[in-house]
Amino acid sequence: MEELKIDLGVRSYSVLIGSGILAGAGKILQERGIKGRLLIVTNPTVARYYLKPLQKSLSGAGYDHGVIKIPDGESYKSLRQANRIYDALVAGEYDRKATIVALGGGVIGDLAGFAAATYMRGIGFIQVPTTLLSQVDSSIGGKTAVNHPRGKNMIGAFYQPQLVISDVATFRTLPEREFASGLAEVIKHGIILDENYFRLVSGERENLLSLDPDFLTWVVAGSCVIKARVVEEDEMETGRRAILNFGHTLGHALESVTRYEVYKHGEAIAVGMVAAARIAREHGLLQDKGLPEQLAAVFASFGLPVAVPGLSVQELMAALQVDKKVEYGKLRWVLPRRLGEVVIVDDIPAALVEQVIREMGGAK
């Protein structure tokens, strides 16, 4: 088992990564001095595989715990479901020493984290992420949120967990598309900060797809180290943390115009990363002129999309303007200079963005 420390002063915490460690969660909590009652937040899909082993382990270690199941899907990352969690906490007389345990992917983690941040102005929070995306991205760094009907993650809080338990054996039950979606974020971490990590991950297709536990532990740990470096520098995203949004500018627009029904998050981000590399090239920022094609080939080899066939350029351009990345009316882009280095710019002409979207298959 690997242990990483996210160093954020009084809000520091450990991320434990390994294969089969979920079944030892009770002992892990005990060893780390977690006290009080627990409320597990999960969904029926994840519960089917992992709720019993988790409960058995928690009961074995003497933890009194309840369970609330949220229906599966992004549309349930809502204030309404947060309210259901508050109701369960109130009905169960959970006090300020209680802890919410999020068992699931990023949807459950973001929603449960938001409830933990706000119930009684903040109670304990532990993440047990079960998707690749949530292990390498959403479970660390403290962004919690629910969606508003007009926009994703519009209502939220920065709230760090006290502990993250990432069991890579959970990927065995994960649908292939979800695994590939997580890989997009893994590869993103290499592109923004670590060329070597990018090359090692993208060159090890077999080890990845065969779910080799040691390799996966190394991959998840490597991504967490990269994300931790950024979050430790800029926890509240006042500046540098925005580099983690590489690929998200067009990616979010893509998710929004297709009403979150066509693309998985990582799939949309893969398209967004290729677009950002093309924009960087056209804008004269890119040192390695072949990067857009190189990224597209890597993403395609994992079954990720790299174009926007038939989507309306106008709709995408309009969606770009309502993104959280618009500041003082200017849209910020995270663009690569080369593998391992990105910059944040806000002077990309709309005409250039339109041209790239068209070249990637956008329609009138």
Q: Provide the binding-site residues for ligand GLY, judged by CB under 6 A.
A: 137, 141, 143, 241, 244-245
Q: How many CB atoms lie within 10 A of CB 307?
A: 16
Measured between its terminal Cα atoms, the distance across the chain in Å is: 52
Sign of CA dihedral 34, 39, 43, 47: positive
Catalytic residue among 77, 84, 143, 332: 143
Using rule CB under 6 A, residue 170 touches ligand NAD: yes
Sign of CA dihedral 326, 147, 239, 184: negative
Select from 3-11, 39-47, 233-241, 298-306 the region that touches ligand NAD (CB under 6 A).
Answer: 39-47
User: 170 touches which of ligand GLY, ligand NAD, none (CB within 5 to 8 A by kind)?
Assistant: ligand NAD
Does the annotation mark 189 as catalytic? no
Using rule CB under 6 A, residue 19 touches ligand NAD: no
How many residues in total does the chain contain? 364
Picking from 90, 92, 145, the residue whose alpha carbon sits closest to that of residue 120 is 90
Q: Which is nearer to ligand NAD, 138 or 202 (CB)?
A: 138
Alpha helices by DSSP H, listed for the chain, are 25-31, 44-60, 79-91, 106-118, 132-133, 176-193, 195-202, 205-209, 213-233, 248-257, 265-282, 291-301, 313-320, 350-359
110-123: b or e for each residue (b if 16 or more CB lie within 10 Å)? Answer: bbbbbbbbbbeeeb
Using rule CB under 6 A, residue 45 touches ligand NAD: yes
Q: Is the Cβ–Cβ distance between 280 and 335 less than 8 Å?
A: yes
Q: Which is nearer to ligand NAD, 104 or 190 (CB)?
A: 104
User: 74 touches which of ligand NAD, ligand GLY, none (CB within 5 to 8 A by kind)?
Assistant: ligand NAD
Using rule CB under 6 A, residue 106 touches ligand NAD: yes
Using rule CB under 6 A, residue 112 touches ligand NAD: no
Does the annotation mark 143 as catalytic? yes
**What's the closest the beta carbon of residue 322 comes to ligand NAD, in angstroms?**
16
Q: Which is nearer to ligand NAD, 313 or 334 (CB)?
A: 334
Picking from 188, 181, 153, the residue whose alpha carbon sits closest to that of residue 323 is 153
CA angle at 265 for the pair 332 and 162, rounded to the nearest 5°: 90
Using rule CB under 6 A, residue 137 touches ligand NAD: yes
Q: Which is nearer to ligand NAD, 94 or 299 (CB)?
A: 299
Select from 69-77, 279-287, 324-332, 334-342 the region that touches ligand NAD (CB under 6 A).
Answer: 69-77
**What's the closest the beta carbon of residue 183 comes to ligand GLY, in angstroms?**
15
Host H or E run for residue 331: strand 330-331
Q: DSSP string of 226-274?
A: HHHHHHHH-TT-SSGGGGGGTTHHHHHHHHHHTTTSS--HHHHHHHHHH
Q: Which is nearer to ligand NAD, 106 or 222 (CB)?
A: 106
Chain residue whose CB lies nearest ligand NAD: 106
User: 166 touches which of ligand GLY, ligand NAD, none (CB within 5 to 8 A by kind)?
Assistant: none
Q: Which is nearer to ligand GLY, 152 or 241 (CB)?
A: 241
β pairing state of 330-331 and 326-327 = antiparallel
Does the annotation mark 153 as catalytic? no
Using rule CB under 6 A, residue 153 touches ligand NAD: yes
The dihedral over CA atoms of 303, 307, 311, 313, expressed in degrees to the nearest 10, equals 150
Does the annotation mark 121 as catalytic? yes
User: 241 touches which of ligand GLY, ligand NAD, none (CB within 5 to 8 A by kind)?
Assistant: ligand GLY
Catalytic residue among 227, 264, 278, 332: 227
Interacting residues with ligand NAD (CB under 6 A): 43, 45-46, 49, 72, 74, 77, 104-108, 110, 130-131, 133-134, 137-138, 141, 143, 153, 170, 173-174, 178, 181, 265
Which residues carry out catalysis?
A: 121, 143, 185, 227, 237, 241, 245, 248, 252, 265
